[in-house]
Amino acid sequence: MKNELTRLFIDQFQVSPDVIVRSPGRVNIIGEHADYNNGFVLPAAIDKAAYIALSLREDDEIHLTAVDLKENFSTTIHHLKPIGDVSWPNYILGGAAQFIKKKISLKGFNLLLTSNVPIGAGLSSSAAVECATVFALNHLLKTGFSRIEMVNMAQKAEHEYAGVMCGIMDQFASMMGKASQVIKLDCRSLDYQYVPFKLDGIKILLLNTNVKHSLASSEYNTRREECEKAIKLIKPHHPSVESLRDVTMEMLDQYVLPADELVYRRSRFVIDEMERLNDACNYLEQNDIASLGECMFETHEGLSKQYEVSCKELDFLVDYVKDNPEVLGARMMGGGFGGCTINLVQEDAIARLVSEIKPAYEAAMNLPLDFYIASIENGTEIM
């Protein structure tokens, strides 16, 4: 990969790259739509990653090439702004813009991007590019930001240049991942703990619906607003409540249910999910993967019926494996409205499962089904 990228870079820019950075996509075992509600999440970096090669320039020009898409984009550091159609340059420009906001004198740069994180699959392909960009610039500009600072910068890139008010999970997982470990992250304090994820004879199987419904980002922002609405209803009575993390079922019953049934349903899911994550972490510690898997099925049910961020394609895939004893747990993953389901499957059953579910899905949905066996790898790093 390194040699290939160097060759492509020289072909494109007639200079050698100063640095090559790999930054992975992520999975999340459980704790969905919990990050922006200050709850806990349980993500991990995976073996699919974005790779960028970068060299600084003496002028103020920025030249970007996306190898896989065969697209180029150029601008200057004085004209940094989000480009209309949210597309790949935004993740890079948004990352670079964070340095300017921190009053660092940014230089122009050449950047070449390639990625094998499938786009729109709920595996955080955009966070991978944001983290890679921020990490590479931090290294070359010698700005010395910590990994946590860079996580925050990468998240801001998504907010400001992609317009998605995402939580912290994706960028955190990409930047902070560790091989064979999941990260138990407290999204309020950003305290985190690595938890070994070695499942004997069980693998993480991702099933990609190959759909990304267009309402994904607008509905995501709407869910955030619905959760904030619950806080507005409760806060006058409990001034110390800052997020759904501080809210009890009693508070919901008392102040939210009478005022707004929809907001009640959304908030209930989040509070249930926070409790489920707790249980799931205990099961993981006790190596009780069957019970952990049960929690994942329950999460899916909640995401589909209460939080309403699933879709018929995701529901089909989870329903299909529900009664299969070789599948310990399954659910939709990430923001929703398409992308992948995450499945914990007995290793020796994967080939059989895929050979059955693929034609069934393709016949029912008239869409191709892709699958990946994900392994848990290190976060952002220089190659």
Kindly state the DSSP code that residue 34 receives in the 8-state scheme: -
In the complex, the smallest distance separating the C-beta of residue 234 from ligand GLA, rounded to whole angstroms, is 21
Q: Which is nearer to ligand GLA, 157 or 234 (CB)?
A: 157
Q: Which is nearer to ligand GLA, 123 or 357 (CB)?
A: 123
Distance separating alpha carbons of residues 49 and 21, to the nearest angstrom: 10
Distance separating alpha carbons of residues 83 and 85, to the nearest angstrom: 6
Q: Are 116 and 67 in contact (CB under 8 A)?
A: no
| CA 194 distance to own-chain centroid | 18
List CB contacts of 236: < 8 A, sequence separation 6 or more.
none
Helix (H) or strand (E) run with residue 125 in it: helix 125-140
Distance separating alpha carbons of residues 267 and 34, to the nearest angstrom: 10
In the complex, the smallest distance separating the C-beta of residue 90 from ligand GLA, rounded to whole angstroms, is 14
Angle in degrees, CA 321, 338, 116, rounded to 5: 95
170 is catalytic: yes
In the complex, the smallest distance separating the C-beta of residue 223 from ligand GLA, rounded to whole angstroms, is 9
Q: Which is nearer to ligand GLA, 33 or 265 (CB)?
A: 33
Could you give phi then psi for residue 250, rounded to 5 degrees? -60, -45
Kindly name the residue from 170, 191, 279, 288 that is annotated as catalytic.
Answer: 170
In the complex, the smallest distance separating the C-beta of residue 258 from ligand GLA, rounded to whole angstroms, is 28
Q: Which is nearer to ligand GLA, 62 or 314 (CB)?
A: 314
Could you give phi then psi for residue 92, rounded to 5 degrees? -80, -50
Distance separating alpha carbons of residues 78 and 149, to the nearest angstrom: 24
Q: Which is nearer to ligand GLA, 120 or 334 (CB)?
A: 334
How is residue 128 written in tokens?
A: 């991978």
Positions in the binding site for ligand GLA (CB under 6 A) = 32-33, 35-36, 166-167, 169-170, 334-335
Give, in order, the Cα–Cα distances in Å from 143 to each of 105, 127, 149, 150.
10, 20, 11, 11
**In the beta sheet, which residues pair with residue 183?**
194
In the complex, the smallest distance separating the C-beta of residue 1 from ligand GLA, rounded to whole angstroms, is 26
Q: Which is nearer to ligand GLA, 23 or 55 (CB)?
A: 23
Distance separating alpha carbons of residues 258 and 113, to the nearest angstrom: 51
How is residue 68 written in tokens?
A: 């896989």
Q: Which is nearer to ligand GLA, 166 or 207 (CB)?
A: 166
In the complex, the smallest distance separating the C-beta of residue 104 from ligand GLA, rounded to whole angstroms, is 26
Distance separating alpha carbons of residues 34 and 123, to the nearest angstrom: 16
Residue type, 345: V
In the complex, the smallest distance separating the C-beta of residue 82 from ligand GLA, rounded to whole angstroms, is 17
Distance separating alpha carbons of residues 213 and 342, to the nearest angstrom: 18
How is residue 139 written in tokens?
A: 């290294």
Q: Which is nearer to ligand GLA, 108 or 334 (CB)?
A: 334
Distance separating alpha carbons of residues 70 and 48, to the nearest angstrom: 20
In what order do the strands lie in the sheet containing 327-332?
Answer: 327-332, 338-346, 202-212, 370-374
In the complex, the smallest distance separating the C-beta of residue 72 from ligand GLA, rounded to whole angstroms, is 27
Which residues are annotated as catalytic? 170
